[in-house]
Chains A and B, each alone.
Chain A
Amino acid sequence: MRNETIDVLTDYARANPDVMLLTADLGYSVLERFADALPDQYANVGVCEQAMAGIAAGLALSGRRVVLYSIANFPTLRCLEQLRNDVCHHNLPVTVIAVGGGLAYGAQGYTHHGVEDLGIMSMLPNIAVACPADPHEAMALLPQLLERARPAYLRLGRSGEPVLHRPETEITLGHAVWMRQGADVALLAAGPILGRALRAADVLAERGISASVASFHSFSPLDTAFVLDAAARHRAILTVEEHVVVGGFGSRVAETLLMGGLAPKFGKFGVTDALRGRIGGQSWLLDTLGAVEDHAEALL
């Protein structure tokens, strides 16, 4: 989805000369299309994420909308205080794009696993946090984040994520989308792991369990009305995320349910200590956490 997203960004920046793209020397074979087309709106600042975030704040304070690009934790955790103080506190139009969110970098190892980013970034002031599941969502959300002209974080996968939506499906920041509707359990998914949730619903159907599946491409603002509606219409809720289960999407949903006075059967599928020290590809690592359908069935 990263190539599609950069294509959208390039088109957007061509029409909006105030948009600048900074990278901390990552994006080989991805960013060239932007850099070649719009060299005056592009800068590779070198391998210095803290400075990059500060530079972005300086540009934004001087009238630019800035997009930062790097992978996994580098444009988020590495420069967290710069994002907190210089970007978010000042409510500046800076959009951080991280590719390889979740476990996408698989066997590259723990340093490249971006599994705390959504929770941490969403705690910063003024920020919108999006984790699209497929290219369709990513391409729809990026312009909305840029139009918002405030701090934003867009977590992408890598490449080759299949399109899960029909082309006509409208994607709006802050609004979750039903992918299929069932009766027993609702699988609420954040990010490309949505594909795994959809496959789980197929397996559950074979087991005689009717599952709904929703895509929560917007982590913050979270569609709390959607959560409460889902809880009212299902016996159980399972959140599905490629993120640590402490302080992530599942935690946000649980808090929403409690605040809304609802107590359905509830479970969280996500990254746990079961992955500590395990080496393997994204799919293998997720398999290690168990099958989504088994987590769902166990709730009922």
Chain B
Amino acid sequence: MTKEYGVSERETIKGPNEADGESAAGREGDCVDQRSDRRIEGVRDVSAMDTLALARRLRCHALRMTHHARASHIGSCLSIADLLAVLYGRVLKVDAKRPDWPERDRLIISKGHAAAVVYAALAEKGFFPVADLDAYSADGGPLSGHVTKTVPGVELSTGSLGHGLPVAAGMALAAQRAKEGWRSFCVLSDGEMDEGSNWEAIQFAQHFRLSNLVAIVDYNKIQSFGSVAEISDLHPLAEKFRAFNWGVHELDGHDHDALAGALAGPPPLAGRPTAIVAHTIKGKGVSFMEGRLAWHYSSPSAAELETALAEVEAGA
């Protein structure tokens, strides 16, 4: 497989789980730093340190993928890298060897344009080889620019906003009716909260007491044409959920312990669905991308990629 991520053959990505598909957490990692032979510290158990390393790898993958494919949406990927690292590293009950395991937790990425980082997370989790990420958006390849169900570990093809939460609610209803213990998670963008279908699902889920449903809003404050505040202000978002009888956690979406506590803990409002309003920074981890609308569209040049990777690996 060719390597055109802007790095040499020697610097090929190798995930901690590539050989046998085991989960990223729970075994010695050997992820090679992409710009030197320095090793990123291994992942040994489910600690915040592990998910921090995982989040760095996800950011590196997404940066390379969007550079290589000349794809958009790197800013949207970077804002949820921490969330995905915590979900896959510490929270979700999934088995990469059995993507269809009936008792798995479901995760729907309603903001399907963040496909690159989602595929990266699935590869790091062992659902498919990390090397396959090279084919992101490639002609005839398996990884389309919006999240696609045919990829192992993906629960729903998305890309049109406002679709994920109703489907996640349907899954939660299925688990509730069957008295099964798995949970249904949905990651939404802030921009897509403009879609009425989300509010239909929010109303439905509280009425049906779907306490096994968790909606996480990636509140990075930037939508397609500018700032959320300017275009269709969501403030006060947490209060909106509370008014709809949802339990709410409002937190820093880059704080792994806060995320893990909210995602893994009991519903803050007993018997009702949970909303996590995750305040994030679009482009998080790369200084020249943070908070910049342009990185909803642009893909990094080779030089920008190099700078970005260096910043991510420095733990910016």
Binding site for B on A (CB under 8 A): 20, 40, 43, 45-46, 48, 50-64, 81-82, 85-86, 89-90
B196 touches A58 (CB 8 A): no
A54 touches B201 (CB 8 A): yes
User: Which of B38-46, B166-174, B222-230, B301-309 is the contact stretch?
Assistant: B166-174
A59 contacts which chain B residues (CB < 8 A)? 170-171, 173-174
User: Which of B49-57, B89-97, B156-164 is the contact stretch?
Assistant: B156-164
A89 contacts which chain B residues (CB < 8 A)? 157
User: Which of B68-76, B202-210, B242-250, B289-297 is the contact stretch?
Assistant: B202-210
Q: Does B149 contact A (CB under 8 A)?
A: yes
B149 touches A53 (CB 8 A): no
B169 contacts which chain A residues (CB < 8 A)? 51, 54-55, 58
Determine the distance from Cα of A50 to Cα of B203 in the docked complex, in whole angstroms: 13
A116 to chain B, nearest CB (A): 21
B171 touches A90 (CB 8 A): no
B170 touches A58 (CB 8 A): yes
Select from chain B the residue with minimum beta-carbon distance to A79: B197
Select from chain B the residue with minimum beta-carbon distance to A41: B177
A50 touches B196 (CB 8 A): yes
A274 to chain B, nearest CB (A): 35
Partner of A86, one of B163, B173, B177, B178: B163
B67 to chain A, nearest CB (A): 28
Interface residues of B in 144-197 (CB under 8 A from A): 149, 155-160, 162-163, 165-175, 177-178, 184, 196-197
Determine the distance from Cα of A153 to Cα of B166 in the docked complex, in whole angstroms: 20
A54 touches B163 (CB 8 A): yes
The answer to whether A57 and B170 touch (CB under 8 A), given A51-B204, A85-B157, is yes
Partner of B203, one of A40, A48, A61, A62: A48
Determine the distance from Cα of A42 to Cα of B177 in the docked complex, in whole angstroms: 10
A62 touches B163 (CB 8 A): no
Q: Does B239 contact A (CB under 8 A)?
A: no
Ranked nearest first, the 7 interchain pairs of A and B with the lowest CB-CB distance are: A58-B170, A54-B166, A62-B174, A51-B200, A55-B170, A48-B200, A58-B171
B121 to chain A, nearest CB (A): 20
Partner of A50, one of B102, B173, B200, B208: B200
Give me 26 A-to-B residue pairs in the complex whose CB atoms sit less than 8 angstroms apart, sorted by A's number.
A46-B200, A46-B207, A51-B166, A51-B169, A51-B197, A51-B204, A54-B163, A55-B169, A55-B201, A57-B156, A57-B166, A58-B169, A58-B171, A58-B184, A59-B171, A60-B170, A61-B167, A61-B171, A63-B174, A82-B166, A82-B197, A85-B157, A85-B160, A86-B156, A86-B166, A89-B157
Determine the distance from Cα of A50 to Cα of B175 in the docked complex, in whole angstroms: 21
B160 contacts which chain A residues (CB < 8 A)? 81, 85
Extra A-B contacts (4), CB below 8 Å, given A50-B166, A51-B197? A20-B177, A55-B173, A61-B155, A62-B106
Binding site for A on B (CB under 8 A): 102, 106, 149, 155-160, 162-163, 165-175, 177-178, 184, 196-197, 200-201, 203-204, 207-208
A40 touches B207 (CB 8 A): no
A81 to chain B, nearest CB (A): 6
Determine the distance from Cα of A175 to Cα of B95 in the docked complex, in whole angstroms: 45
Select from chain A the residue with minimum beta-carbon distance to B198: A51
B197 touches A54 (CB 8 A): yes
Determine the distance from Cα of A92 to Cα of B12 in the docked complex, in whole angstroms: 39
Select from chain B the residue with minimum beta-carbon distance to A82: B163
B149 touches A62 (CB 8 A): no
B158 contacts which chain A residues (CB < 8 A)? 85
Partner of B163, one of A46, A56, A85: A85
A151 to chain B, nearest CB (A): 14
The answer to whether A43 and B200 touch (CB under 8 A), given A58-B171, A61-B171, is no
A82 contacts which chain B residues (CB < 8 A)? 163, 166, 197
A55 contacts which chain B residues (CB < 8 A)? 166-167, 169-170, 173, 201, 204
Determine the distance from Cα of A20 to Cα of B176 in the docked complex, in whole angstroms: 14
B174 touches A48 (CB 8 A): no
A60 contacts which chain B residues (CB < 8 A)? 170
Determine the distance from Cα of A252 to Cα of B8 in the docked complex, in whole angstroms: 56
B208 contacts which chain A residues (CB < 8 A)? 43
Select from chain A the residue with minimum beta-carbon distance to B180: A62
A37 to chain B, nearest CB (A): 16
A86 touches B167 (CB 8 A): yes
A52 contacts which chain B residues (CB < 8 A)? 166
B162 contacts which chain A residues (CB < 8 A)? 50
The answer to whether A62 and B170 touch (CB under 8 A), given A81-B160, A85-B160, is yes
Partner of A90, one of B156, B177, B200: B156
